């Protein structure tokens, strides 16, 4: 007799999700068996990890090398004053384990090189790029493309946000195709600022796309970029095709 994947307690805990026809028990079981890699525990990573945790992801690995600072607390919702100076991954694990003790959490407090990150990508089903570093974003794209692991990528600055999914399917673009549209101008929150609910909204949407990838619900943002203008509360979308001369995904 096959052992049930979900316990009676989990059926109750996740009952409101299971009630969604597109999710059902099969989807919840898929979440419990999934392994998600979250790179960056700042403004995007905090809400993304929070909602993945309460949704019932089976295993989540958190990667960041930074420590909690006072200026983080305006938007990085997993951290608090008493943890200033603590490693962000450790602070995140403390909060997340209280939200849902059933999730297996693995914290990596280090700046991973390409070989180390490749090892992590290979061990997970979905990767969330929650960083604010272009070099890391490009590295994650290369590794996820090579391993054919879906990458949920997002950015937020000022009152604006971007979200897309790279699933590396036939005819789909990669991050390198996407980033080439923006040249060498890379803004930071320090220089330009960020409103807390904006980055929270974008990070939450990252969690949503990850859940859809794992469960097969709906249609993810592959080949499409969602643009959010919070100043006017407009959500726009544009299609993104592959760059035929892309250094990462273009065929020889």
The Cα–Cα gap between 90 and 105 comes to 10
Count of structural domains, the chain: 1
56 located within any domain: yes
1 located within any domain: no
**Taking residues 234-240, what's their average pLDDT?**
93
89 located within any domain: yes
3 located within any domain: no
Q: What is the CATH number of the domain that holds 26?
A: 3.40.50.720
pLDDT for 187: 55
90 located within any domain: yes
* 145 CB-near residues (< 8 Å, 6+ apart): 166, 168, 174, 248, 249
State the burial class of residue 114 (Cβ atoms within 10 Å of its Cβ: 0-12, 13-18, 19+).
exposed
126 located within any domain: yes
**Alpha helices, DSSP H only, in 14-168?**
15-18, 24-32, 45-55, 88-99, 114-122, 134-147
pLDDT for 186: 57
The DSSP secondary-structure symbol of 174 reads -
The answer to whether 78 touches 46, Cβ cutoff 8 Å, is: yes
Q: What is the value of pTM for the model shown? A: 0.93
186 located within any domain: yes
State the burial class of residue 129 (Cβ atoms within 10 Å of its Cβ: 0-12, 13-18, 19+).
buried
Q: How high is the mean pLDDT of the chain?
A: 92
Percent with pLDDT over 90 in the chain: 82
The Cα–Cα gap between 152 and 132 comes to 14
199 located within any domain: yes
Q: Which tens digits make up the pLDDT trace of 8-64?
A: 999 999 999 999 999 999 999 999 999 999 999 999 999 999 999 999 999 999 999
* 63 CB-near residues (< 8 Å, 6+ apart): 37, 38, 39, 40, 41, 89, 108, 110, 112, 117, 120
Measured at the CA of 57, the angle between CA 52 and CA 60, to 5 degrees, comes to 85
Range of the domain at 150: 8-239
């Amino acid at each position: 007799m096959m052992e049930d994947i979900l316990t009676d307690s989990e059926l109750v805990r996740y009952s409101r999700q299971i009630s969604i026809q597109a999710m059902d028990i099969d989807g919840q079981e898929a979440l419990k068996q999934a392994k998600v890699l979250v790179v960056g525990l700042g403004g995007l990573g905090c809400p993304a990890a929070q909602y993945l945790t309460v949704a019932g992801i089976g295993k989540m690995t958190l990667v960041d090398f930074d420590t909690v600072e006072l200026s983080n607390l305006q938007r990085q919702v997993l951290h608090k004053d008493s943890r200033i100076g603590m490693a962000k991954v450790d602070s995140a694990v403390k909060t997340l384990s209280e939200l849902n003790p059933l999730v297996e959490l693995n914290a990596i407090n280090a700046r991973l090189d390409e070989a180390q990150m490749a090892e992590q990508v290979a061990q997970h089903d979905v990767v969330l790029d929650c960083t604010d570093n272009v070099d890391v974003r490009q590295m994650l794209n290369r590794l996820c493309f090579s391993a054919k692991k879906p990458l949920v990528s997002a950015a937020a600055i000022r009152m604006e946000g971007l979200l897309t999914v790279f699933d590396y399917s036939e005819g789909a673009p990669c991050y390198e195709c996407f980033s080439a549209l923006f040249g060498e101008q890379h803004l930071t929150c320090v220089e330009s600022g960020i409103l807390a609910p904006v980055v929270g909204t974008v990070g939450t949407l990252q969690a949503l796309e990850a859940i859809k990838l794992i469960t097969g619900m709906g249609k993810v943002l592959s080949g499409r970029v969602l643009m959010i203008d919070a100043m006017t509360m407009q959500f726009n979308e544009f299609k993104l095709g592959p760059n035929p001369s892309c250094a990462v995904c273009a065929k020889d």
